[in-house]
């Protein structure tokens, strides 16, 4: 099939939605489909490029001032170019990843040209509103406006998907009067696995030979990494341990200052952004993954950690309990219970047998999230739409 994937959030952006879109394009192409991605380019003029072997039609764009890594295609630039390239490519399916300008435009073009359309939701306002620095009432207004706009676009689609059952229920609650199919983002279990050698990265970052926690992801406000540091500081009063923080974001400076205040300068390693090729080895430098993001519609990094054989300590919020089963492959903690989180950290760092048991349970749970299952599900959705259009 010929498939267009449309998104306002693509390479080189580093977040779950962008990574999912990149992997979806890659694995669909690997399965023999012809893929064209339409996304903001990295310059003012429109240009088609290859990104990891996938054709990307990069629309002319400008940086977004609140987050410099992201770029935005103004409406007067993109609609004509998108219409032209859709007509030339003649896709069987258009699959959007968000309801912003490119996604919204492609839905309208799909309707106009009678092309079946699919949309996957990765949207959570909490991932965006904190950049605006609004008072609580202002955030609520912006959140409600965001969901209304989302429903106005996704309500036009032929099929709506989202990564988890939790995320599907969320869409019911915000007024999307449409069935939603839960399809996991998926994980490449041939790439992320317990047999990967982490020693080269242990040497690179000069990591001590002690039980180690790992966080991978954006260092932004809603990820609550500051809370993890507080609990870790309390835990290592009683156990030996180290904490690796991998990623970049607006909170980097604040987190580094917090580490100094907590006396953790020799107990925490900041790696900065870690390239995709090094991620499988990074997970194997650690003994346990930890995450406290409150707006996770699934969490690709948690799945990567589980496929790598790690126990997981996760906040009991949004879709994380679908992956982390309390006292089975890890622990779930309540966000404001620092004492309990500290105890969970101590339990895992001090008990090798417990880590091994939880590791095996993570590997068992993650099996159903194999990327090939995800691609097969999307192929079925596409085929059914194509046959009924």
Q: What pLDDT score was predicted for residue 14?
A: 82
Strands 93-96 and 67-72: unpaired
| Pairwise CA distance, residues 255 & 245, whole Å | 10
pLDDT for 160 beyond 70: yes
pLDDT, mean of residues 257-286:
97
Lowest average pLDDT, out of 24-33, 78-87, 120-129, 290-299, goes to 120-129
Q: What pLDDT score was predicted for residue 313?
A: 98
Average pLDDT, the chain: 93
Q: What pLDDT score was predicted for residue 125?
A: 73
pLDDT for 18 beyond 90: yes
pLDDT for 64 beyond 60: yes
Q: What pLDDT score was predicted for residue 63?
A: 83
Distances in Å between the Cα of 297 and the Cα atoms of 124, 292, 319, 355, 382 are 8, 13, 5, 26, 23
pLDDT, mean of residues 298-318:
97
**Residue whose C-alpha is closest to residue 41's, from 76, 80, 13, 15:** 13
What does the pLDDT look like over 183-233, one tens digit per residue?
999 999 999 999 999 999 999 999 999 999 999 999 988 899 999 999 999
CATH code of the domain occupying 199-369: 3.40.50.2000
Q: What pLDDT score was predicted for residue 368?
A: 97
| Pairwise CA distance, residues 6 & 205, whole Å | 37
Find out whether 29 and 35 touch, Cβ atoms under 8 Å: yes
**What does the angle CA 13 – CA 17 – CA 23 come to, to the nearest 5 degrees?**
85
- 133 versus 122: the higher-pLDDT residue is 122
Q: What pLDDT score was predicted for residue 110?
A: 98
Q: What pLDDT score was predicted for residue 157?
A: 97
Q: What pLDDT score was predicted for residue 337?
A: 94
Give the CATH superfamily of 2-186+370-388. Answer: Glycogen Phosphorylase B; (3.40.50.2000)
Show the DSSP H helices in 121-196 as ranges.
136-154, 165-173
Q: What pLDDT score was predicted for residue 61?
A: 85
Q: What pLDDT score was predicted for residue 136?
A: 67
What does the pLDDT look like over 334-383, one tens digit per residue?
988 999 999 999 999 999 999 999 999 999 999 999 999 999 999 999 99
| Pairwise CA distance, residues 327 & 329, whole Å | 6
pLDDT, mean of residues 170-183:
92
The interaxial angle of helices 136-154 and 101-113, nearest 10 deg, is 20
Beta carbons within 8 Å of 237's beta carbon, 6+ residues apart: none
pLDDT for 234 beyond 60: yes
- 74 versus 211: the higher-pLDDT residue is 211
In the chain, what are the domain boundaries? 2-186+370-388, 199-369
Cis check: omega of the bond before 349, within 30 degrees of 0: no
What does the pLDDT look like over 101-118, one tens digit per residue?
999 999 999 999 999 999
| pLDDT confidence band for 279 (50 / 70 / 90) | very high
| pLDDT confidence band for 130 (50 / 70 / 90) | low
pLDDT above 90 as % of the chain: 80
pLDDT, mean of residues 290-317:
97
Q: What pLDDT score was predicted for residue 98?
A: 95
Q: What pLDDT score was predicted for residue 62?
A: 83
């Amino acid at each position: 099939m010929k498939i267009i994937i449309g998104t306002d959030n693509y390479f080189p952006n580093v977040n779950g939605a962008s990574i999912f879109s990149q992997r979806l394009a890659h694995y669909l192409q690997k399965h023999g489909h012809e893929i064209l991605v339409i996304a903001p380019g990295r310059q003012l003029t429109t240009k088609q490029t290859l990104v990891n072997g996938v054709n990307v039609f990069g629309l002319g764009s400008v940086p977004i001032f609140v987050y410099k890594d992201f770029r935005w295609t103004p409406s007067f630039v993109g609609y004509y170019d998108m219409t032209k390239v859709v007509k030339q490519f003649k896709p069987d399916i258009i699959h959007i990843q968000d309801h912003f300008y490119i996604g919204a435009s492609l839905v309208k073009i799909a309707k106009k040209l009678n092309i079946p359309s699919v949309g996957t939701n990765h949207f959570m306002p909490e991932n965006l509103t904190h950049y605006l620095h609004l008072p609580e009432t202002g955030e609520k207004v912006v959140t409600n406006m965001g969901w209304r706009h989302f429903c106005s676009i996704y309500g036009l689609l032929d099929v709506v998907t989202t990564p988890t059952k939790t995320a599907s229920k969320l869409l019911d609650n915000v007024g999307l009067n449409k069935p939603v199919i839960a399809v996991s983002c998926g994980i490449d279990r041939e790439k992320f696995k317990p047999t990967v050698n982490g020693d080269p990265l242990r040497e690179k970052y000069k990591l001590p030979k002690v039980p180690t926690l790992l966080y991978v992801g954006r260092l932004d406000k809603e990820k609550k990494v500051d809370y993890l540091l507080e609990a870790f500081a309390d835990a290592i009063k009683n156990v030996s341990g180290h904490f690796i923080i991998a990623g970049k974001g607006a909170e980097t400076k604040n987190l580094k200052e917090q580490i100094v205040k907590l006396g953790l300068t020799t107990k925490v390693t900041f790696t900065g952004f870690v390239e995709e090729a090094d991620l499988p080895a990074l997970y194997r430098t650690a003994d346990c993954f930890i995450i406290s993001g409150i707006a996770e519609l699934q969490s690709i990094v948690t799945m990567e950690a589980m496929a790598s054989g790690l126990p997981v300590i996760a906040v009991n919020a949004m879709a994380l309990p679908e992956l982390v089963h309390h006292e089975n492959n890890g622990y779930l903690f309540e966000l404001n219970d620092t004492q309990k989180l500290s105890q969970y950290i101590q339990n895992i760092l001090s008990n090798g047998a417990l880590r091994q048991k939880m590791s095996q349970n993570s590997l068992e749970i993650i099996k159903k999230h194999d990327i090939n299952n995800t691609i097969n599900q999307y192929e079925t959705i596409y085929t059914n739409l194509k046959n009924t259009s």
